[in-house]
Chain A
């Protein structure tokens, strides 16, 4: 099952959410588009990642499980502001992905 899909696996996706869905504790009825990175990264793996994979498999690393190539944001969307139910403004920074890559 560890077959890499064709092309670069990492992808940017978006979802339309209420601010309350973010679970950051804000009370507001405003909404936002949240963009995130998702997808496999096997294509981008280096010898380093292959070695880690083998070492983990052969139980040479004790209990450590170092992370391998991940699909992550390498740039973030513009800040977003909103007014909460007590008429206070808030601004979120680095909350949503602008560019994704396997890192």
Chain B
């Protein structure tokens, strides 16, 4: 097809399957995340989460971030944005029968050692700062993206929302927050409307912030 638009998310998937490490750990999470275990459960969520954490722990960011933070043309282009949304196999790793309240989800995250520490890292490393050029308090996009991807495979697993601009959220909302409505909104906005995180994702997607790309050990 002459002059077909480049699909960065597709290109990242191709690059992954041509790399032995990425290919191995990609199929190692897609398998459990897509295998039905019973009539009631679409998959074993615990195994899916564990394999997703392994993928981001073991695969070099060039490939893992390449798929997770690939850039898609403005507006929703199905072939690209939907593919990006599918990276974590949301039907298993993200969606649930009921959408919990975000503060309740945060409380359940705090009872788990891995989730608690990774959520704390995310809040530290992706803290927005409107006065800084990068949009971040800690001007280090790599640390922000590392902390964000570290949440994948915990109960706080975030994913892209179907929105024209880049917006992510864990699977929860602020309905029935009672007196804590404001606190809950602040929590969700740190995901959905965070300029630091958005700039970090865009910078990686556009390849504009190459200088900070050092492979980093997982937290």
Q: Which residues of A contact B (CB under 8 A)?
A: 16, 29-33, 78-83, 87, 89, 91
- Listed by A's residue number, 7 A-B pairs whose Cβ atoms lie within 8 Å are A29-B10, A30-B10, A32-B18, A78-B27, A80-B27, A82-B17, A89-B89
Are B83 and A83 in contact (CB-based, < 8 A)? Answer: yes
Are B18 and A31 in contact (CB-based, < 8 A)? Answer: yes
Are A81 and B24 in contact (CB-based, < 8 A)? Answer: no
Are A79 and B31 in contact (CB-based, < 8 A)? Answer: yes
Judge whether B23 is part of the interface by a CB distance below 8 angstroms: yes
Chain B residues lying within 8 Å of A32, measured Cβ to Cβ, are 17-18
Chain A residues lying within 8 Å of B89, measured Cβ to Cβ, are 89
Judge whether B13 is part of the interface by a CB distance below 8 angstroms: yes
Chain B residues lying within 8 Å of A31, measured Cβ to Cβ, are 14, 17-18
Chain A residues lying within 8 Å of B28, measured Cβ to Cβ, are 79
Q: A79 to B20, alpha carbons, bound, how many Å?
A: 10
Q: Which of B10, B23, B89 has the most CB of A within 10 A?
A: B23
| Size of interface on B: residues with Cβ below 8 Å to A | 20
Identify B18's interface contact among A16, A78, A81, CB under 8 A.
A16
With contacts A29-B10, A78-B20 taken as known, whether A87 is within 8 angstroms of B27 at the C-beta atoms is no
Identify A91's interface contact among B13, B20, B31, CB under 8 A.
B31
Are A81 and B26 in contact (CB-based, < 8 A)? Answer: yes
Judge whether B44 is part of the interface by a CB distance below 8 angstroms: no
With contacts A30-B13, A83-B86 taken as known, whether A91 is within 8 angstroms of B27 at the C-beta atoms is yes
Chain B residues lying within 8 Å of A79, measured Cβ to Cβ, are 27-28, 31
Q: Mark B117-136, 1 if CB is under 8 A from A, else 0.
A: 00000000000000000000
Are A78 and B34 in contact (CB-based, < 8 A)? Answer: no
Judge whether B30 is part of the interface by a CB distance below 8 angstroms: yes
Q: Mark B45-67, 1 if CB is under 8 A from A, else 0.
A: 00000000000000000000000
Give chain B interface residues in 9-23, CB to chain A under 8 Å.
10, 13-14, 17-18, 20, 23
Q: A82 to B13, alpha carbons, bound, how many Å?
A: 8
With contacts A29-B10, A80-B23, A82-B13 taken as known, whether A91 is within 8 angstroms of B34 at the C-beta atoms is yes
Q: A82 to B17, alpha carbons, bound, how many Å?
A: 8
Q: A82 to B214, alpha carbons, bound, how many Å?
A: 28
Chain A residues lying within 8 Å of B33, measured Cβ to Cβ, are 89
Are A89 and B30 in contact (CB-based, < 8 A)? Answer: yes
Are A87 and B31 in contact (CB-based, < 8 A)? Answer: no
